[in-house]
Amino acid sequence: MYDFTYYAPTKVAFGKNSLSRLEGLLKEQNCKKVLLHYGGGSAERSGLLAIVRSAIRSAGLAWTELGGVQPNPRLSLVYRGIELCKSEDVDFILAVGGGSVIDSAKAIGYGLANDGDVWDFYAGTRKPAACLPIGVVLTIAAAGSEMSNSSVITKEEEGGDLKRGCNSDLCRPRFAVMNPELTFTLPDYQTACGCTDILMHTMERYFTSGGNMGLTDGLAEGLMRTVIANARILKRNPADYDARAEVMWASSLSHNGLTGCGNDGGDWAVHGIEHELGGLYDVAHGAGLAAVWPAWANYVFKDCLQRFYLFAVQVMGVRPSGTREGVAREGIRAFTQFLSGIGMPVNLTELGVSPTDGEYKKMASRCAAAGGGKKGSARVLYADDIEKILRNAQ
Ligand code: NZQ
Ligand code: ZN
């Protein structure tokens, strides 16, 4: 078991009436002017933005708006947001949306609180020293950005965009309003992508070769079982409030650090590979993870057999009989079947992506380079391993 720091400063207002808390939460920030940041239209169509504007007004605050955040949020909009906030003297950012909007808000917050090019923090050449405070009204259970220390931005580039993350406690939101009813309007595909991402945030922390803690394992296994059960319920009945609520709270707990306490920081190879797919092909994050995971798991599981065995038995309900390798394989098969069952792609073909030879190599080398030449903990992977996994995923 490793030493750890657990830091989860976000105040959470959760449930059907949580939006009524927004005005008070805004007042607590002691700010004067808010940037209201949102996505491509769902929050306007549902009437949510009208409620949020009214809460900002009632809190006695001025505000300016920037919508149009795309999934896989783009650096160009972040730059626009930084300029807008500078000219409008914004001192607080309210993100209304999912991971993409929240991450864009975090990047704008870094850009405002630090000199120089904000991309440096995503390229890993500098570390931020501050971030403007951020609040969240969450509309999709998925990325966990509402409590996480992470932000992922895509830089538009000739010949293939570059998707990169920046991790720092400075960007953890001050508050998050989470009303599971807001997720009723999600397309089924986005609900399933979200459930996949939530699971993966805990799985990346669970499949590790360094450091484990019984309590963390128990929390992680309970979270994974809960998300799997409720993802299946939502496939049948997207309007099930309780299932929406279970999944929404899991999204936050899966990525706020709780399910990694005592380990070595986790594996994160599947996320690293997805970031390359997201950059080159602009796929939905959860779908990209699902398309890569089976190939990754089959490639690494023998090097991390005990964890895959535990996952099979404790999470997927596989009977612990026969060889440990056989049980582990059965767990991988059962999880892959679960992903298919909720409508997720389980290979690149189903994801609708067919890389060229050059693209396989480019993704593999970029992915390894982002990790300083290697990725992973369950098994340490180099560029040639990552290329093999991507080709196996076809
Ligand atoms: O833009 P709008 O119109 O709002 O539509 C969005 C978008 O098309 C739609 N949507 C969201 N809430 C809705 C809704 N549609 C109907 N009703 C609602 N209530 O859903 C689509 C996806 O939204 P997005 O914000 O992109 O989803 P998600 O939360 O999955 O975020 C994905 C992004 O987060 C990053 C991913 O890489 C990706 O860029 N991640 C961020 C992390 C973090 N900051 O901690 C960790 C993750 O591993 C992940 O990398
Ligand atoms: Zn993720």
The residue nearest atom 16 of ligand 1, judged by CA position, is 186
User: Is the Cβ atom of 266 under 6 angstroms away from ligand 1?
Assistant: no
SS3 sequence of 38-90? ECCCHHHHCCHHHHHHHHHHHCCCEEEEECCCCCCCEHHHHHHHHHHHHHHCC
Please identify, by atom number, the ligand 1 atom nearest to the C-alpha of residue 41. 3
Q: What is the CA(81)–ligand 1 centre distance, in A?
A: 18
Give the residues of the chain that fall short of pLDDT 70. none
Ligand in nearest proximity to the CA of 100: 1
Q: What are phi and psi of 243, to 5 degrees?
A: -65, -40
Q: Which strand (E) or helix (H) includes residue 362?
A: helix 357-370
Structure tokens at 180: 């599971």
Of the candidates 253, 256, 204, 251, which has an alpha carbon nearest to the alpha carbon of residue 230? 251
Q: What is the CA(71)–ligand 1 centre distance, in A?
A: 6
Of the candidates 223, 197, 230, which has an alpha carbon nearest to the alpha carbon of residue 315? 223
List Cβ neighbours of 256 (8 Å cut-off, separation of 6 or more): 8, 10, 144, 147, 148
For residues 207 and 77, give the distance between their C-alpha atoms in angstroms, rounded to a whole number.
35
Strand partners, 38: 96
List Cβ neighbours of 142 (8 Å cut-off, separation of 6 or more): 98, 99, 190, 193, 194, 195, 197, 198, 251, 285, 286
Please identify, by atom number, the ligand 1 atom nearest to the C-alpha of residue 39. 1
For the stretch 331-342, pLDDT in tens is 999 999 999 999
The answer to whether residues 103 and 134 touch, using CB atoms and an 8 Å cutoff, is no
- Note the pLDDT of residue 160: 85
Please identify, by atom number, the ligand 1 atom nearest to the C-alpha of residue 200. 48
Which residue is associated with the tokens 């906030």?
85
CA of 154: how far to CAs of 69, 76, 162, in Å? Answer: 11, 9, 5
User: Is the Cβ atom of 98 under 6 angstroms away from ligand 1?
Assistant: yes
Q: What is the CA(286)–ligand 2 centre distance, in A?
A: 7
Q: DSSP of 4-17, one letter per residue?
A: -------EEEESTT
User: Is the Cβ atom of 111 under 6 angstroms away from ligand 1?
Assistant: no
- Note the pLDDT of residue 16: 98
CA of 249: how far to CAs of 42, 44, 178, 194, 242, in Å? Answer: 21, 24, 8, 12, 11
The residue nearest atom 7 of ligand 1, judged by CA position, is 71
The residue nearest atom 2 of ligand 1, judged by CA position, is 40
- Note the pLDDT of residue 350: 98
Ligand in nearest proximity to the CA of 102: 1
For residues 362 and 191, give the distance between their C-alpha atoms in angstroms, rounded to a whole number.
31
Q: What is the CA(74)–ligand 1 centre distance, in A?
A: 13
For the stretch 20-76, pLDDT in tens is 999 999 999 999 999 999 999 999 999 999 999 999 999 999 999 999 999 999 999
- Note the pLDDT of residue 136: 99
For residues 390 and 387, give the distance between their C-alpha atoms in angstroms, rounded to a whole number.
5
Mutate to test the pocket of ligand 1, among 70, 151, 152 (most ligand atoms within 8 A of CB): 152
- How far is CA 29 from its chain centroid? 26
For residues 247 and 231, give the distance between their C-alpha atoms in angstroms, rounded to a whole number.
8
Q: What is the CA(285)–ligand 2 centre distance, in A?
A: 7
Amino acid, res. 153: I
For residues 217 and 261, give the distance between their C-alpha atoms in angstroms, rounded to a whole number.
9
Please identify, by atom number, the ligand 1 atom nearest to the C-alpha of residue 274. 37
The residue nearest atom 18 of ligand 1, judged by CA position, is 186
Mutate to test the pocket of ligand 1, among 100, 181, 280 (most ligand atoms within 8 A of CB): 100
User: Is the Cβ atom of 255 under 6 angstroms away from ligand 1?
Assistant: yes
User: Is the Cβ atom of 238 under 6 angstroms away from ligand 1?
Assistant: no
User: Is the Cβ atom of 205 under 6 angstroms away from ligand 1?
Assistant: no
Q: What is the CA(201)–ligand 2 centre distance, in A?
A: 6
List Cβ neighbours of 371 (8 Å cut-off, separation of 6 or more): 272
- Note the pLDDT of residue 19: 98
User: Is the Cβ atom of 151 under 6 angstroms away from ligand 1?
Assistant: yes
Ligand in nearest proximity to the CA of 97: 1
Please identify, by atom number, the ligand 1 atom nearest to the C-alpha of residue 144. 45
Q: What is the CA(312)–ligand 1 centre distance, in A?
A: 29
